[in-house]
Amino acid sequence: MILYEKELKEYFSSKDSVILAYIFGSTVRGDAGRLSDVDIGVLLDENLSKKDRFELELRLMGEIAVLINKNKIDLIVLNEAPLLLAYNIIKDGIILKSGETQRVKFETKILSMYLDEKYYIKRHTEETLKRIAEVGFA
């Protein structure tokens, strides 16, 4: 079991406005150090207003920090996350909370969008690296 997994699963089970939750990053890879943050991705109820979503995000960060006794929490709201980040979270993350129907629907949507964009993402990355190799960061 991943560090904090049990506590976070229990915590998210009571959060009705959190549809899905994942833990990802160095904690999952097993290379988290003393100074590492804990990366968590959440899909929030689409019916929440932007204001309510923001307030929930702040509340979740505070409560999670207290729960796991760690101030460095990186909470990614999947509703607003860039495609590549959302893809990597569902690909490499560990599920903390999931309704099976909602998870399949969300992951299918992200995977479909990623596969549509994969060629362009790869091409952009290659061009950027080529440009950096030729002229540096200037």
pLDDT value of position 115: 95
SS (H, E, C) 65-123: HHHHCCCCEEEEECCCCCHHHHHHHHHHCEEEEECHHHHHHHHHHHHHHHHHHHHHHHH
Decide: pTM greater than 0.85.
yes
pLDDT, tens digit (0-9, with 9 covering 90-100), for 65-104: 999 999 899 999 999 999 999 999 999 999 999 988 999 9
Domain with residue 36: its CATH number is 3.30.460.10
Residues 12-43: tens digit of each pLDDT = 999 999 999 999 999 999 998 888 899 999 99
Model confidence at 53: pLDDT above 90: yes
| Dihedral class, residue 75 (left if φ above 0, else alpha if ψ from -120 to 50, else beta) | beta
Query: Which structural domain range is residue 56 located in?
Result: 4-135
The number of distinct structural domains making up the chain is: 1
